[in-house]
DNA sequence: ATGAAAGCGCTAACAT
DNA sequence: ATGTTAGCGCTTTCAT
């Protein structure tokens, strides 16, 4: 009988140095033969860590979040971590519930563009789990966060539009509790020239929202529509085209994020690009050290940049109006 | 000192009946006050289950898989399960590695459109974990699977195109190891009329792939391009428009899946729609009973259906050719 | 209705 | 270099 103790097996399975090579192979063989695989759960309990990071997103169907998630996964994977995903379906009320559950299964949490209230966010400290926030600066910087500074890029967008003669802009606003919505709106209001009128029409975060809001936006007489994000902008473009209105000839459209579709529609969408993959990478890099030791809480600010494509052009003199339906 | 044993606390936390209401509130209070939350890991070890389902996808950035994942999460959540996600980044070689790791952390696995070889797939039985496969029929039906029958919808597409006079079609093929690719191709070949010529140009699974393959497809003289999926089709449309070629006036385009963008581009994309959310739902419904008891291995076949939008139209007499660049 | 005790399958001192 | 012994923090018989 080849005795062999649990510890030895454990050492072999964990590639601990100082194990007799003979034993190593013997154990490996036996394991392979018996189809033995260490129980992750038992390892987790014993080690006091799960190797899992919980990620909360408002909506996985939004390519922005899918991309951020990919960034997190890729980076976390290099440290042997996996991602447990919770999709709140754009329902702020669901977020807390998800987080409480995620927290019990993971070593740390990454919140992508959380829609929950600031007090709720602050209350998360009680979870007593390392948390990193992406795309929203937590009040009082309670948590490390990776945010983006889009002021300069927005200012650039405004100059771009101004140069094209646009003096009536309409912002298709995002979900009520999206921090990015407030920031974008504020960046716009502080960037436009005094001669420029800025309207605001409620939309949402998805294609349908932009599609649905397009007509209301048109009614403001704006010559350029700016979507809360690219999905909203693209939804609006679709609606405009249905109405027989040509972009950018009759009306210009711009968005935020630079999701991959912005590049592949025609006309291409002018947009304030977010560093999507970096969001994910940086989020992990902030979280990772935090998992091992309570390190200093930091914040990382990335910067957005303007990408000009075909959806913005010179303002039409006569203002946009529906043409013959497509 | 209010004694209270571990067992009692456990009973309270698990809402076990037959506990003195007084004690219940006392324990609840104490827990709240101390911020006590049962360790998920310890529960997992003790209960012998993790409450986690591992999901493997080829690419989360593909809305098809994001949607399927959402379907799985939503359904699994109703049973108290969460999803651990692994994104193989369209690299078949990575899939096995991910699966082995996922298997150690989860109670069951759902593989979405796995690209790995059939033998590798068969070898998964050794993982000794309930597995359900989505969108690929496993050889020998080793695992329960949810697949789609798109033959009828493809036939319908072919009739639709034929009625428009298209007799030269070009299929922009998908990733080498995507089972869906072979199925779609085979459905096409067996559906076209004998007078119709079907070409095949290699593309891939993403927007860029369709974009890059468009010119080669044009060169075949085809009057209608059919993308492996909607992304490929839309990528091709983008390229065509760059070339000044109008869809559908000069050339028709169709795709597979019916991702949300297919509806919101202009022209809308004609496509063979996959039951995306159902894929996810059904996958969970197949897996769920399997987790508790080894039940009979079943298979569920959903059906695709054709959605006709603006990207397909009557064939142009003279054949497509680049116009003035946009 | 509650407590005591065993055990889930590992890891990590500690001893040898 | 390997074996022994305690836990990790719960759940769950089994007593009471």
Mean pLDDT split into 10-residue runs, chain A, 326 residues: 75 88 88 90 95 96 96 95 95 95 95 94 92 87 91 98 97 94 97 96 97 98 98 97 95 98 94 97 94 77 96 78 46
Asked if residue B24 belongs to a domain, the reply is: yes
Note whether B41 contacts A: Cβ–Cβ < 8 A: yes
**A66 plus A14 within the same structural domain:** no
Query: Looking at the structure, do residues A204 and A128 belong to the same domain, yes or no?
Result: no
Read off the CATH number of the domain in which A82 is found: 3.40.50.2300
Identify the DSSP state of A148. E
Estimate in Å the CA B48 to C1' C2 gap, whole number.
25
Asked whether residue B308 is assigned to any structural domain, the reply reads no
- CATH number of the domain that B20 lies in? 1.10.260.40
The C-alpha atoms of residue A198 and residue A37 are separated, in whole angstroms, by 62
Residue A318 lies in a domain: no
Number of domains in chain A: 3
The distance (Å) linking the CA of B230 with the C1' of C9 is: 47
Q: Convert the pLDDT of each residue in B92-142 to its tens digit.
A: 999 999 999 999 999 999 999 999 999 999 999 989 899 999 999 877 778
Any idea what the Cα angle at residue B311 is, between residues B310 and B315, rounded to 5°? 105
Could you tell me the residue range of the domain that residue B197 belongs to?
151-273
Residue B108 sits in the same domain as residue B26: no
Nearest CA to B198 among B226, B160, B174, B164? B226
- To test the contact with chain B by mutation, choose from A65, A98, A105, A232 the residue with the greatest count of B C-beta atoms within 10 A, namely A105
CB proximity B189–strand D (7 Å threshold):
no
Lookup: tokens for B56: 């493997």
What is the distance between the alpha carbons of residues B175 and B181, in angstroms, rounded to a whole number? Answer: 7
Beta bridge partners of B300: B146
Residue A108 lies in a domain: yes
In this complex, the nucleotide whose C1' atom is nearest to the CA atom of residue A8 is: D2
| Whether B297 contacts B233, CB under 8 Å | no
Q: Residue A323 has which token pair?
A: 């043409």
Q: What count of other Cβ atoms lies within 10 Å of the Cβ of residue A307?
A: 18
Q: Which residue has the tokens 């209401």?
A: B21
Q: What backbone torsions phi and psi does residue B42 show, to the nearest 5 degrees?
A: -65, -40
Residues of chain B with pLDDT under 50: 1, 319, 323-326
- Is the distance from CB of B167 to CB of B221 less than 8 angstroms? no
Q: According to the model, what pLDDT value does residue A326 have?
A: 37
One domain for residues B125 and B208? no
Q: How far, rounded to the nearest angstrom, does the alpha carbon of residue A186 sit from its chain's CA centroid?
A: 20
Q: What is the pLDDT of residue A294?
A: 67
Nearest nucleic acid nucleotide to A16, CA to C1' distance:
D1
Residues of A in Cβ contact (< 8 Å) with B61: 63, 66-67, 70, 260
Both B173 and B263 in one domain: the answer is: yes
The C-alpha atoms of residue A25 and residue A43 are separated, in whole angstroms, by: 22
- The Å distance, CA of B40 to C1' of D11, is 12
Q: Note whether residue A131 is domain-resident.
A: yes
Give the CA distances from residue B270 to residues A115, B99, B144, B171, B210, in Å, rounded to whole numbers and listed in that order: 35, 35, 31, 14, 15
In a domain, B163, yes or no: yes
pLDDT at A113: 95
Cα–Cα dist B226/A240, whole Å: 27
A125 vs B: CB within 8 A: no
| pLDDT reported for residue A322 | 52
- Taking the CB of residue A21, how many other CB atoms lie within 10 A of it? 7
Residue B322: per-residue pLDDT: 52
Question: What is the C-alpha to C-alpha distance for residues A49 and A268, in angstroms, rounded to an integer?
Answer: 46
Considering the domain architecture, whether residues A236 and A186 belong to the same structural domain is answered as: yes
Q: Residues A230, A257: contact at Cβ < 8 Å?
A: yes
B136 and B159 belong to one structural domain: no
User: Does residue B281 share a domain with residue B263?
Assistant: no
B80 Cβ contact list (under 8 Å, min separation 6): B51
Instruction: Return the nearest residue to D2, CA–C1'.
Output: A8
Q: B66 and chain A: CB distance < 8 Å anywhere?
A: yes
Could you tell me if residue A308 is inside a domain?
no
Minimum-distance nucleotide, CA of B45 to C1' = C8
Are B119 and B160 in the same domain? no
What does the block give as tokens for B277? 């959310």
> Can you name the residues that pair with A86 across neighbouring β-strands?
A56
The token duo for A271 is: 């947009």
Residue appearing with tokens 């591992």: B54
**N-term to C-term CA, chain B:** 82
Confirm whether any atom of chain C, the nucleic acid strand, is less than 7 Å from CB of B4.
yes
Ranges of beta strands (E only) in chain B are 52-57, 82-87, 108-112, 131-134, 145-149, 168-173, 197-202, 224-227, 252-257, 270-273, 299-303, 305-307
Cβ–Cβ below 8 Å for B67 and A44: no
Whether residues B183 and B89 fall in one domain: no
Residues 86-105 of B with CB under 8 A from A: 86-87, 89, 100-105
> Residue A248 — φ and ψ, nearest 5°?
-100, 5
């Amino acid at each position: 009988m080849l005795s062999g103790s649990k510890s030895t097996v454990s050492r072999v399975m964990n590639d601990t140095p100082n194990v007799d090579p003979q034993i190593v192979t013997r154990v490996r063989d036996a394991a392979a033969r018996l189809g033995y695989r260490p129980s992750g759960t038992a390892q987790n309990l014993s080690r006091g860590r799960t190797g899992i990071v919980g990620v909360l997103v408002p909506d996985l169907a939004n390519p922005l979040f899918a991309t951020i998630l990919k960034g997190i996964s890729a980076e976390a994977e290099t440290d042997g971590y996996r991602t447990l995903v919770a999709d709140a379906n754009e329902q702020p009320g669901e977020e807390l519930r998800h987080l409480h559950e995620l927290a019990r299964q993971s070593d740390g949490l990454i919140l992508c563009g959380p829609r929950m209230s600031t007090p709720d966010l602050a209350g998360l400290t009680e979870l007593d789990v390392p948390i990193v926030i992406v795309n929203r600066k937590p009040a009082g910087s309670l948590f490390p966060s990776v945010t983006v500074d889009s002021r300069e890029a927005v200012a650039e967008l405004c100059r771009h539009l101004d140069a094209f003669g646009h003096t009536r802009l309409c912002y298709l606003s995002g979900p009520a509790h999206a921090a990015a919505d407030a920031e974008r709106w504020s960046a716009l209001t502080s960037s436009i020239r005094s001669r420029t009128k800025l309207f605001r029409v409620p939309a949402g975060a998805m294609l349908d929202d932009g599609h649905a809001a397009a007509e209301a936006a048109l009614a403001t007489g704006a010559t350029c529509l700016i979507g809360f994000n690219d999905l909203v902008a693209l939804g609006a473009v679709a609606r405009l085209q249905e109405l027989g209105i040509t972009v950018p000839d009759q009306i210009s459209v711009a968005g935020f994020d630079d999701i991959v579709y912005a590049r592949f529609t025609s006309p291409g969408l002018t947009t304030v690009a977010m560093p999507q993959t970096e969001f994910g990478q940086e989020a992990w890099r902030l979280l990772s050290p935090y998992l091992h030791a309570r390190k200093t809480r930091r914040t990382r600010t990335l910067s957005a940049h303007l990408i000009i494509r075909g959806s913005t052009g010179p303002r039409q003199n006569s203002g946009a109006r529906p043409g013959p339906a497509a």
